[in-house]
Structure 1
Amino acid sequence: AVYLTLFHPLARYPGPLLARFTNLYSAYHAWTGDIHVDIYRCHKRYGDRVRYAPNRLLINTPAAVQDIYSHHAPVKKFQNYRVLAQQAPNTLTMQDKTQHSRRRRVLSQAFSARSLESWEPKIVAQLDRLSQVIRSHLASMSSSEKPTEWTTSLDMARTCKSLPSSVFYPDSFNHLTFDTMTSVSFDSHFDTLRTAEYRYVMEAIAASNIRLSVLLQAQELATANLDSWLFPASIAGRTQFVRFIRGLLGRRLRASGMSGDLFAFLQQCKDPDTGEGLSLTELSTETATFIIAVGSDTTSTTMAAVCHYVTGSPRCYQRLVTEVRSTFASVADIRLGPALNSCVFLRACIDEALRLSPPGGSSLWREIEPGGAWIDGQWLPGGCEVGVGIYSIHHRAADWPDPFHFDPDRWVGESPGRPYMPFSMGARNCIGKPLALAQVMLTMARLFWEFDLRRGDEKDAEEEEKEEEEEEEEEEYVVADHVTAGGHGPMLCFRPRV
């Protein structure tokens, strides 16, 4: 305790008292899911540099973002990321920079513009299904005596409690992205949008991630299987998910002649520098990772956040639907390409939603290489762990005036040139970013073109018009951060336009 208080290299930095002595402070906030918000609160109280654990320093400045996450930063992946690996390291977890670069050179080929065109039909097929489900839900509410214009209020990011398989109910963007990513990755069709049989997988992922988020902060809690006692529901969720993934991979491997999915594509890809491909173990662990990192919480949370903020701002809503509906003449025209790219306000709404409610808002910890490094003008010895809270840097008032206000115009025109890293950055940025953004752009364009949307607590058109004259809502889309983030809502009603 004396060493940690007086002589540790980070002893001079302020922070929560408990955090000076134990990793359990950050582990607690990881468990509650508010670690991203707690990091923000700590910076408000202690300043730009906060000691958040005995050997960890948070820095909330643009310079730190560059010093820690740029391509040639003198840091390596935080060792606790190993808890995210099941049987073999993947691009999210491996520390070895050479191996990481080799694997990324292969994987990145699956997310080029040309490759995205190959995956687009699978994305569009799921959007067709989502549209059918919403329309079926509306039809089930109507009768010849009492036609209905609007659906009942639907929670677009609700917890995935299983419903009877006969219920047509689009109860979350999570189902949409799960169905999309399993189709893209393995050409498998689980139809969780309409049936309940496989919705347990998303429940299992969510439960498992609670334990993982805690172990990322305090790996010592796995000593002597202590985590099994602390997180029995998470262990059960992990077991369910691993069983599902093994079955999915087994079926895909038996269908060896299949083509047209990401798995088959990556089997043919080679490292352009060495000519090496991925081993079967590497291929399996990476494609399984896509389901979690791209297809589960991150993309669906972004969709939910966009809908939350846009429907809470009548002016933004009207501007967005005008842009989308004037750009495309029909649903069939909503495809990747120049027309979709021309929807600059749509992209601005997505970027601003990602700023306000990033789907992973805590710190991506890095370990300083032996020999030490200058980080934000501070010399820190090798072995110290440093990071920037994504939610916190996105709400830094010095860089983002009125930081809690949803203002897509920040992104219209020239790039704001401010610290922004919802997909991380540098050599470790999210490799699936192009696919994730393609999904979000297509989904938002489709929904706002095909349907009128309103908040579920809105009563009628008269109240909707009245709200346009009143001050816009400034309600944050609140997420719980457990490795990736998920929230509740928004509660939306849909009315078909055509």
Structure 2
Amino acid sequence: MKTSDIYQNERMTKPFIYRASQVRPDQYNVFNSRDKDIHRIKRRMVGQALSDHSIRQFEPTLLQQIDMFLKNILTQSKASSPMNMTPACRHLGLDVIGQLGFGYDLALQTKDEHRFLKDAIVFSNFRINLSMQFPPLIWLRPDYLVTLFPNSIRTRLLAVVKKMIVARLAQPVDAKHDLLSFIAPKLETDLKEIQEGELWPEAVFFFGAGGDTTATALAGAFFYLSRNPDCYRKLATEIRSTFTSADEIRGGRQLASCRYLRACIDESLRMASPVPTTLWREQDPSEDGRRVLIVDGHVIPRGTLVGINIYSLHHNEKYFPNPFTFRPERWLENNESARAAFIPFSVGSRTCAGKPLAYQEISLALAKTLWYFDFEPAPGALGKVGGGNPDGADGKVRKDEFQLREIFGAYNDGPYLTFHRRGQYWEELMGDGN
């Protein structure tokens, strides 16, 4: 199967089922806009906040959030308490996206107030997935029923997004280097206009998509490294021999030289894709109906949805021999077919704009964790959380596979890890951070 037949084909577009992710029927964001010209405009707008230049400027804030993540690990290590990496990574991811999107400190890593957000995003993804699988729900709009209940988790989620936008717009545009600093000057500043205009759908999507996907990828990396000691040792050696201090661990040539780190991340993304679903496409309805559409040698009738399931593609033996084996070395080999079949961020004009940020965040979090700590699976039953059960349901039996439940995004739990402080390096975390 050629991904280019579907995702890099100018004759294809997103089908109507993506309306399931609209906040309002008349509003579109960079993810669900079907019109190519509208998508191009929105992609350019959002892309400014996610460009390499913007990420470099944002890096000090990113490092502050990662240092808080490390301090939480330090607290758990001092108490000899196993740490569940899924909520820890989600708290980190949402704190990062709160800062990058809105210049707002959600403080999930330190306070309980906004921790319901991670469950709200799971609910939102489940609702979207349900509607995409059963399209009549798109027109029934069950989310309107949810908003009738003021304490519903979805209502609370939208209230937090509104609060972040209002707080940010009360500051000078250039006060923070965030998404709103790029798009707010061109858009509405009145709250009612915000909710009815372009800014609202972009903000809701940016917040919901940005934190949770990176969290799944990072938790997956912790799972596979903790269960593959040879890979763990190779990566720890690379990090500890490349850098001479934690201050050096930041974006740049040294981090980019850590090829095994990137290989471990890519292998984790392959095995635990944050979006393990099928990204559906259809022939552009505006195209001349007399033109035949061919995908992988098959004539596709007009109106038929086609797509490639990312989890299935990433576990296809044709491209990835021994697909259920965590082997980062495969990414150090010159394997063009594997590279072509590797699409954790999609491919083509709809490639995820947050890809550079995701790699930067995961790279820094893993590198700094291995600088300060060693880790291993928690003892006993907790150490098995996140893996499959040999006596469990079909497809969930591999104990060394990080278990994902597809809800358009991914729903996961674990791994529980025990962390050990490395030498005296951890003492740096007792101060104000790096």
State whether TM-score is above 0.5.
Answer: yes
Gaps of 5+ in 2: 189-193, 382-397, 426-434
Q: Which runs of 5+ in 1 are unaligned?
A: 1-60, 142-150, 159-171, 270-276, 460-472
Name the counterpart of 1:437: 359
| 1:494 counterpart residue number | 419
Checking the alignment, whether the CA contact within 8 Å between 1:77 and 1:367 is kept in structure 2 is yes
AA matched with 2:116: Y
Q: Which deviations, in whole Å up to 9, do the C-alpha atoms of 1:30-59 show, x marking residues without a partner?
A: xxxxxxxxxxxxxxxxxxxxxxxxxxxxxx
Task: Tell me: CA distance 1:246–1:265, structure 2 relative to 1, closer, same or farther (3 Å).
Answer: closer
Residue 113 in structure 1 maps to residue 52 in structure 2: yes
- After TM superposition, the structure 1 = structure 2 runs for residues 462-477 of structure 1, keeping only pairs within 5 Å, are 475-477=400-402
Equivalent residues of 1:103, 1:278 under 8 A apart: no
Residue aligned with 1:495, SS: strand
Structure 1 residue aligned with 2:390:
none
Instruction: Answer yes or no: is 1:153 the counterpart of 2:82.
Output: yes
Task: Count matched residues.
Answer: 391
Residue equivalent to 1:75: 12
- Deviation (angstroms), 1:253: 1.6
Structure 2 residue identity aligned to 1:324: I
Quote the offset at 1:301 in angstroms: 0.4
Counterpart of 1:243 (choices 143, 150, 159) is 159
**Equivalents in 2 of 1:397, 1:345: separation in Å?**
22
Bigger Cα Rg: 1
Contact preservation (8 Å) 1:367, 1:383? yes
Q: Output the CA distance in 2 between the equivalents of 1:417 and 1:288.
A: 36
Return the alpha-carbon distance in structure 2 between the equivalents of residues 107 and 426 of structure 1.
Answer: 17
Q: Secondary structure at the match of 1:205?
A: helix
Name the structure 2 match of 1:127.
66
- Shift of the 326–177 alpha-carbon distance from structure 1 to 2, 3 Å rule, reads same
1:346-400 residue CA offsets vs partner (Å, 9 max, x unmatched): 1101101111110111100011124341111111122111110000111111121
What TM-score, normalized by structure 2, do the two folds share? 0.84
Is the contact made by 1:368 and 1:382 (CA closer than 8 Å) also made in structure 2? yes
The answer to whether the aligner puts 1:216 opposite 2:132 as a matched pair is yes
Q: What is the deviation of 1:257? A: 4.5
SS in structure 1 of the partner of residue 299 of structure 2 = strand
Structure 1 residue 98 and structure 2 residue 61: aligned?
no
> What amino acid is aligned across from residue 409 of structure 2 in structure 1?
T
Which 4+ stretches in 1 moved above 4 angstroms?
222-233, 277-280
Q: Aligned equivalents of 1:450 and 1:416: distance in 2? A: 36
C-alpha contact 1:177 1:300 (8 A) present in aligned 2 = yes
Cα distance in structure 1, aligned partners of 2:357 and 2:227: 27
Aligned to 2:176: 260
TM-score, length-normalised on structure 1?
0.74
Using the TM superposition, give the Cα deviation of residue 134 of structure 1 relative to its aligned residue in structure 2, in angstroms. 2.2
**How far apart are 1:454 and its partner, in Å?**
0.7
Q: Is the 8 A contact 2:225 2:232 kept in 1?
A: yes
CA apart distance, 1:239 = 1.6
> How large is the RMSD of aligned CA atoms in angstroms?
2.5
Residues 121, 231 of structure 1: alpha-carbon distance in 2 compared, 3 angstrom cutoff? same
The equivalent residue for 1:315 is: 230
Contact 2:319 2:337 in 1 (8 A): no
Equivalent position of 2:112 in the other structure? 196
How far off is 1:230 after superposition?
10
Supply the AA of the counterpart residue of 1:368. Q
* Equivalent of 1:381 in 296, 301, 308: 301
Aligned runs of 1:421-432 on 2, under 5 Å?
Answer: 421-432=343-354
Match of 1:137 among 34, 58, 76: 76
- Alpha-carbon distance in structure 1 between the residues aligned to 2:20 and 2:302: 22
Q: Which residue of 1 aligns with 2:393?
A: none
Question: How far apart are residue 306 of structure 1 and its match?
Answer: 0.6
**Offset of 1:189 from its aligned partner?**
1.0
- Give the counterpart letter for 2:262 in structure 1: R
Residue 271 of structure 2 corresponds to residue 360 of structure 1? no
Per the alignment, residue 102 of structure 2 pairs with 186
| 1:480–1:486 contact (8 Å) kept in structure 2 | yes
Alignment of 1:400-415 (within 5 A): 400-415=320-335
1:483 aligns with 2:408: yes
CA distance in structure 1 between the partners assigned to 2:163 and 2:174 by the alignment: 17
Determine helix, strand or coil for the equivalent of 2:81. Answer: coil
In the TM superposition, what whole-angstrom CA distance separates every residue of 1:100-120 from its partner, at most 9, and x where no partner exists? 112212322222222111110
Q: Matches of 1:257 and 1:215 in 2, distance apart?
A: 37
Q: Per the alignment, do residues 226 and 301 of structure 1 end up closer, same or farther by CA in structure 2, a change over 3 Å counting? A: closer
Label 1:231 to 1:157 Cα distance change in 2 as closer, same or farther (>3 A): farther
